[in-house]
A and B are shown apart, each in its own frame.
Chain A
Amino acid sequence: MENNQSNNKIFIYLLVVFFAFFAGTNIFLLVNNKSQPPSEKEMVATSTEGALNLFLDQEGKASFPKDKEIIINLKADSMEKNISGYDVVLSYDPLAFEFIKATSLLTDFTIHIYKKDNYLTLLGTKMLQSQTQSVFDKTKIVSLVFKPLKAGQFDFALEPSFNKDKTDFITDETEILNPALNELKVEIY
């Protein structure tokens, strides 16, 4: 009789341990699953030498009326490196868009703009008097404004190089970084 009672206690103990393990595992999986972010939908480029990405100012929108100027921003990631200058080559269809202006979104960087036949080059220089670190971490660095000229679907693309012009970041150690680049599709109606 005593032996039976002892066996029941052991059985109940094992049952409690089993349910506790089962519930714990489920809670862990549930919590772990919830903590994952929703998958990133925008196409971004990354690499060990950083990234430079084009994205529309009105995120989530890729279709625009012909009579409205569009704003495209440049977002940079310098992989924790301190940047003292950058060069950008951006190709686009000059028959479809008129380049209006480019503005530095970093107060201690000056940009010089060169409009070529079917591409644009930007040269960003950090002001001499600036002593702050310029580590780009998905940092918006430049805003570009284009005026659509005709309807259709068009590409804006960051190019690694074109003629003598290049896209790169220069660090405070004068190291040249070749960031991963993306392109952007825009529809004008």
Chain B
Amino acid sequence: MALSFNPATASLTTDLQEVTTIIKVKPSAVMTIRGYYFPVYFDKNKVQIKNLTYMMGNVSASLGQTNADLAKINADGYIVVQGEDQTLTGWVFGNTTGFVNVISIKFARKASGSSNLSINKDSVRFYKNATNGILSAITGSNNAFLTVNGGVPSVTPTPTPTPKAGTPTPTPIGGVNATLKLKLKFQGIGTKPTGALNKLKVRLKLYDENTETYTGSDAADFTADNNGIWSGNVVFNGVFTTHNYVLLVKGPYHIQKKVCVVKPTETAGGTYRCIKGSISFTKGDNNLDLSGIVLLAGDLPAQDGTISSYDTSLIRNNLGKTDSASVAKSDVNHDGIIDTQDYSLVIASLSIKNDEE
């Protein structure tokens, strides 16, 4: 997907002077799109966003940012653009020659100096409707920029929590014990597995947005109800009730999912994405209902944080097996046999490939 700003340059000579740009996209192939997601970064000290108008489908409710979020957008320095087309056909790209408007952004000068608006191609996701009904994500083919007052095009990387090398991280003192009571949904498991198969060990990790550090990790056993919703508890010590957190969840056959709110939702399985965590905890029990999103399968034991040919081969080479050792390694949907369903589940996740961080 090629992305561009139109216009791609702006000259703002006075404060509050406004300009409107449209972000456009051109597909690499004829396809039908169900949804899209990308953050647009800007220098919050030089520019402020005044208006957003989605032009492709509609904004994804409670996921994509709108004019109601302008205060947060201008405080954060980025816009989360997330939209979808819920019509029967979806958004059809009938050719690969023309650019299509995605969103219009009006912004104004806040202070003098050069800056830019940018889109990092690796953060871009367009969800394509495949013939088998499975959505696959397409990333951007280029970084896109709008330079303001001669700014140098540069990409703001997706804010990933990387500890700064050589800088000792202060360990917060105090905090409370928080019990996370979680509900999860795993790709391909729609009912309660039988017997010993009704148990999955899930690894959980917290990232503290305030201190920019990982504050704890633990694993817990989860069991499913008749609807395939998995429940389990995990206790984290030293959690600050005033801080915002990201929760990272990794199932035993799954790629890690980053979750930023206590009850995330998505319109198509596996499409939920977020940037900044806003989960806050209280002392004692904290309910997090993640059953509105699906944890995608693909990273089989021994896990290495990515879906590779080892994972697809592990299923292919054990097709039809029902022994406990084989099932423990590659029975993704927990029905007691390694079969083509398990293989299809992993193949369906290949558009994501790596753990979310």
Which residues of A come within 8 Å of B, CB atoms?
A: 84-87, 112, 114-117, 123-126, 128, 164-166, 168, 170-174, 176
Contact between chains at A170 and B354 (CB < 8 Å): no
Q: Are A164 and B354 in contact (CB under 8 A)?
A: yes
Q: Which of A112, A166, A168, A173 contacts B350 (CB 8 A)?
A: A112
List 13 A–B pairs whose Cβ atoms lie within 8 Å, in order of A's numbering. A84-B309, A84-B316, A86-B309, A87-B309, A112-B350, A112-B353, A114-B353, A124-B309, A125-B316, A164-B305, A168-B309, A170-B313, A173-B317
Whether A125 touches B312, Cβ cut-off 8 Å, given contacts A112-B350, A164-B305, is yes
B231 contacts the other chain (Cβ, under 8 Å)? no
Contact B310 A126 (CB under 8 A): no
Give 1 or 0 for each of B292-304: 1 = CB within 8 Å of chain A CB.
0000000000001
Query: A49 to chain B: closest CB distance in Å?
Result: 15
Give the residues in chain A near B307, CB-CB below 8 Å: 123
CB-based contact B305/A123 at 8 Å: no
Task: Give 9 A-B pairs besides A85-B312, A126-B313 with Cβ atoms closer than 8 angstroms.
Answer: A84-B317, A85-B313, A123-B309, A128-B340, A164-B354, A164-B355, A170-B310, A172-B313, A172-B317
Q: Looking at the complex, which one of B139, B308, B340 makes contact with A123 (CB distance below 8 Å)?
A: B308
Q: How far is the CB of A147 from chain B (nearest CB, A)?
A: 12
Interface positions of B from 297 to 349, Cβ below 8 Å from A: 304-310, 312-314, 316-319, 340, 343, 347
Q: Tell me whether B122 is interfacial, beta carbon within 8 Å.
A: yes
* Of the residues B304, B313, B314, contact of A164 by C-beta under 8 Å: B304
- Cβ contact of A166, chosen from B308, B313, B343, B354, cutoff 8 A: B308
Chain A residues lying within 8 Å of B122, measured Cβ to Cβ, are 116-117
In whole angstroms, how far apart are the Cα atoms of A171 and B347 in the complex? 18
A40 to B355, CA, bound (A): 43
Contacts of B317 in A (CB 8 A): 84, 172-174
Dominant secondary structure of chain A at its interface with chain B: strand
State how many angstroms separate the Cβ of A126 from the closest Cβ of chain B: 7
Given A112-B350, A115-B139, A128-B343, answer yes or no on A87-B316 (Cβ-Cβ < 8 Å): no
The smallest C-beta distance from B220 to any residue of chain A, in angstroms, reads: 24
B318: chain A residues within 8 A (beta carbon): 174
Which residue of the partner chain A has the closest CB to B305?
A164
B310 touches A125 (CB 8 A): no
Closest to B299 in A: A164
Residue in A closest to B312 when the chains form the complex, CB atoms: A125
Chain B's nearest CB lies how many Å from the CB of A24?
55
Counting from the closest, the 5 A-B pairs by CB-CB distance are A85-B309, A170-B313, A164-B306, A85-B313, A84-B313
A85 cross-chain contacts in B, Cβ below 8 A? 308-310, 312-313, 316
List of B residues within 8 angstroms of A168 by Cβ:
308-310
Interface contact A170-B309, CB-CB below 8 Å: yes
Docked complex Cα distance between A171 and B310 (Å): 9
Given contacts A87-B308, A117-B122, contact A123 B350 (CB under 8 A): yes
CA–CA, A110 and B27, complex, Å:
22
> Are the C-beta atoms of A174 and B310 separated by less than 8 Å?
yes
Q: How far is the CA of A168 from the CA of B310 in the complex (A)?
A: 9
A148 to B233, CA, bound (A): 54
Please give, as numbers and ranges, the residues of chain B lying within 8 Å of A172 by CB-CB distance. 313, 317
> With a CB–CB cut-off of 8 A, which chain B residues contact A116?
122
Cα(A115)–Cα(B121), bound, Å: 10
| Assembly CA distance A39 to B347 (angstroms) | 44
Inter-chain contacts of A174 with B (CB < 8 A):
310, 313-314, 317-318
Q: Which residue of A lies closest to B355 (CB)?
A: A164
Measured CB to CB, the nearest residue on chain A to B311 is A85
Report A-chain residues with C-beta under 8 Å of the C-beta of B310: 85, 87, 168, 170, 174, 176
